[in-house]
Amino acid sequence: MTSLRDVIAHEESVLAGSARLRSIHADAVRRGRASVAAVMDESGDSDDAETRLHRLYAQTLEEYAARVDREVPEADARTWRDLVSALPGDAWHDLLRTHGAAGAARLLEAMDLARNRTVPPAALDAALTAAARTCVCGYAKTGTLPKRLCQACAGAVGAAWVAEEQRLLQRAMTLQAEVGRILDEATSAIADARSRGEDAYGTEQVALARTRRKLARANRRHREERSRLDVSRWKELAGLARRASMPAMSAEARRARHRLGMAQLARLALHTNHDVQARMSSRARERGTS
């Protein structure tokens, strides 16, 4: 029996291998989340919302599957179907089996996150509660802010900061699309830099600096859209992220100013980032087969 995590891990490696697939996926996530937000605005947390969301999920997955039909290599499509058919019985799993294609589990997860419109501070509290087990700085346990946040707490803060950024970007769709493109390029550039033997650090720093400049320009270009957003919570979380004990995260948080996209860049800059790692193994595979 497989789990949804196995399916998502497979999808990450498939998406890492194709820029076109990633762009279709990002577009589906954007539209899907906007539609979920619209349903929630209209029906709130009623039973009616559940029914409408279920229909919306099915429809979005079906449209996505039709768009990626020719993009997913046959072997990957087969692996995906095998994994999904081995999932236990569950409403979501049935949706995937009936309407999905590689990338659909991630899409479903991203859409479902948009239901929760009050991400932070609830998200930070939940993440800190989960971090309390491994926290060594005391913040997750006592709430007293130390000079440096331990990895567990900084991870929780980073996740809440990203969640708040995504919530804001959902309300600024042209900026969101541009930030998505910039960060996708950054993921590839960081993966390439880390795959280099010598001078990997220098190359990565150049890629990060270039991404910061691009994000700054994008935020300036869309200042009209941005000015409608309340970024106070985002800034508060950026302030917390500055205390991260991981230098890569604190460095990006210090340079974040008010640029949306920086929370996600701070996470990409971490050496443990899964998206970058997936892209690195996909590059290694390409090199192996060429």
Which positions lie near Zn ion, rule CB under 5 A?
135, 137, 139-140, 150, 153
In the complex, what is the shortest distance from the CB of residue 131 to Zn ion, in angstroms, rounded to a whole number? 6
In the complex, what is the shortest distance from the CB of residue 28 to Zn ion, in angstroms, rounded to a whole number? 36
In sequence order, the 6+-apart residues with CB closer than 8 A to the CB of 248 are 266, 269, 270, 271
Q: Identify the three-state secondary structure at position 149.
A: strand
Cα 87 off chain centre by: 23
Longest dimension (CA), the chain: 58
Eight-state DSSP code of residue 244: B
In the complex, what is the shortest distance from the CB of residue 126 to Zn ion, in angstroms, rounded to a whole number? 15
Nearer to Zn ion, 95 or 140 (CB): 140
In the complex, what is the shortest distance from the CB of residue 146 to Zn ion, in angstroms, rounded to a whole number? 7
Dihedral, 234, 239, 242, 248 alpha carbons, nearest 10: 10
Residue of 208, 257, 255, 209 lying closest to 234 (CA atoms): 257
Nearer to Zn ion, 140 or 191 (CB): 140
Nearer to Zn ion, 18 or 138 (CB): 138
Beta bridge partners of 149: 244
In the complex, what is the shortest distance from the CB of residue 242 to Zn ion, in angstroms, rounded to a whole number? 15
Calpha distance 80→74 (Å, rounded):
10
Nearer to Zn ion, 16 or 140 (CB): 140
Nearer to Zn ion, 16 or 127 (CB): 127
In the complex, what is the shortest distance from the CB of residue 149 to Zn ion, in angstroms, rounded to a whole number? 6
Nearer to Zn ion, 137 or 186 (CB): 137
Calpha distance 206→188 (Å, rounded):
13
